[in-house]
Structure 1
């Protein structure tokens, strides 16, 4: 879902722009936001994807930096990578992370189930 001019560098009480995008998702569980042609986040979490090399990557672009994302990057558990919607299909799985969700706290989402 194209995030356009959404600016969410800090957690805000006003999530109306994100909620508007979520309402346009045609009943999907969540949205994968795209800004300037690059994957960023979902409506409530940062994204990590596992490549065929077994390494977890997170989009180098983001709407919210995320403390869990920063922790995982700083400890070498994930790496940044420019990820476009077209290149997302090359990864094996996707997981969501945030302050309350660690890498192993959520089930993998098969890339094939993501609506584009």
Structure 2
């Protein structure tokens, strides 16, 4: 097992951490549930953005275990997703943000820009975030997500998104699909037609 089995990825824009309260909540849940430890750290205390990263959007990665942390900063360029390929798995578990992502990385394919993971027969996530689906002016996200992302948590709290069970056969009933994660918030300009999903 890695020295730091779990991590958080945060978006920092012009020196300001985005959705910090949702990252803090997920971190505290991981501490309690995975590490069996009462959390006593505020993530904001760990983040010291270097001068060269205080303009524009950057990616901050915090790797951690029950007592130690490693913080790194990286330039960020969004990944453009124009096509999805469904991949089928059984019993995939990624309920915590594990540093070991082999179970996700091995699902990637050159046949599309990103995959839609069908876990136990139901739509879950892609390898880098949660998924949203549009139907009749309402955005939905799968009930069977692998990991509840901070952006999804925010959208649910704002009543911008509803959770619903989505099977493979349901996909054609939607109009558009969008990937969201901490670095790629809700933006309808990034949504693409579900016709770009290969089953």
- TM-score, normalised to structure 2, is 0.54
Moved more, 85-94 or 98-107: 98-107
1:29-58 deviations in whole A, cap 9, x for unaligned? 11100112110000101000110x200000
Task: Quote the Cα distance in structure 1 between the aligned partners of 2:184 and 2:141.
Answer: 15
Match of 1:90 in 2: 173
1:74 matched to 2:160? The reply is no
1:9 matched to 2:126? The reply is no
Match of 1:49 in 2: 133
Match of 2:78 in 1: none
1:112 matched to 2:195? The reply is yes
Task: Quote the Cα distance in structure 2 between the aligned partners of 1:3 and 1:99.
Answer: 25
Give 1 or 2 for the bigger CA radius of gyration.
2
Match of 2:62 in 1: none
Structure scoring higher RCO (CA < 8 A, sep ≥ 6) equals 1
Task: Quote the Cα distance in structure 2 between the aligned partners of 1:106 and 1:7.
Answer: 31
1:66-115 deviations in whole A, cap 9, x for unaligned? 11101101110000010111101111100111111111175112100111
8 Å CA contact 2:91, 2:120 repeated in 1: no
Task: Quote the Cα distance in structure 1 between the aligned partners of 2:188 and 2:181.
Answer: 10
Query: How much does 1:6 deviate?
Result: 1.9
Gaps of 5+ in 2: 1-86
8 Å CA contact 1:58, 1:79 repeated in 2: yes
SS in 2 for 1:41: coil
1:19 matched to 2:19? The reply is no
Larger fraction in strand? 2
* RMSD value, Cα: 1.3
